[in-house]
Chains A and B, each alone.
Chain A
């Protein structure tokens, strides 16, 4: 049973560019959340998707947007990249009706903005 899969694993972009990161949730999970983890920090919540809608959002600018597809997979888009967007981006999945028993995380996408 595959867990949460993310692609790509590493990415280098130039300041001002746009990036799309992808996530496939664990089988049986219908909710996807995205987190940003800067070096030496804990993950910070970006947003959460369920039924193809953004349900909750953390304190991130609207340069960060997302999408969820009918098969529950999700994309995170970041526009107008800044150097400070360099981080590990983690996707987590859970069942909407029982999320509190813990989220399953992917291995992340390491984004470097130069």
Chain B
């Protein structure tokens, strides 16, 4: 997972927007994902984007992909306390392999 990098921690106030960033190094990555993990739980798929897209929006979530800089971001609008969790960026580098490579995760803390 070291080839997918994320900042460790982000703190925001309830109602603000959160932006979680991720960089990846493999230019062959074609599928990129955001997963959410709450304490003691497994991983919940939030959204994904294919490399032929620049942006994807799904309700409060917006994913931006900058292939030139190998940068992926997840924006959460109107962040709620229930959004407090660890967010993982993941990639599938080789569609033949189908294995996910994860970053180390960003802990999002939402303060009331």
Interface size class of A (residues with CB under 8 A): 20 to 34
A69-114 with Cβ < 8 A to chain B: 90, 92, 94, 99-108
Establish whether residues B92 and A105, one from each chain, have CB atoms under 8 Å apart when the complex forms.
Answer: no
Q: List residues of chain A with CB within 8 A of the CB of B99.
A: 33, 45, 48, 56, 58
Total number of B residues with any Cβ neighbor in A under 8 Å: 25
Contact A105:B43 (CB < 8 A) given known A33-B99, A48-B98, A48-B99: yes
> How far does the Cβ of A15 sit from chain B's closest Cβ, in whole Å?
25
Evaluate whether A43 and B100 lie within 8 angstroms (CB atoms) in the complex, with A103-B45, A107-B42 already known: yes
| B21 CB within 8 Å of chain A | no
Whether A104 touches B45, Cβ cut-off 8 Å, given contacts A41-B1, A42-B103, is: yes
The answer to whether B42 and A105 have CB atoms under 8 Å apart is yes
A56 touches B98 (CB 8 A): yes
B102 within 8 A of A: yes
Residues of A within 8 A of B (CB): 4, 33, 35, 40-45, 48, 56, 58, 90, 92, 94, 99-108
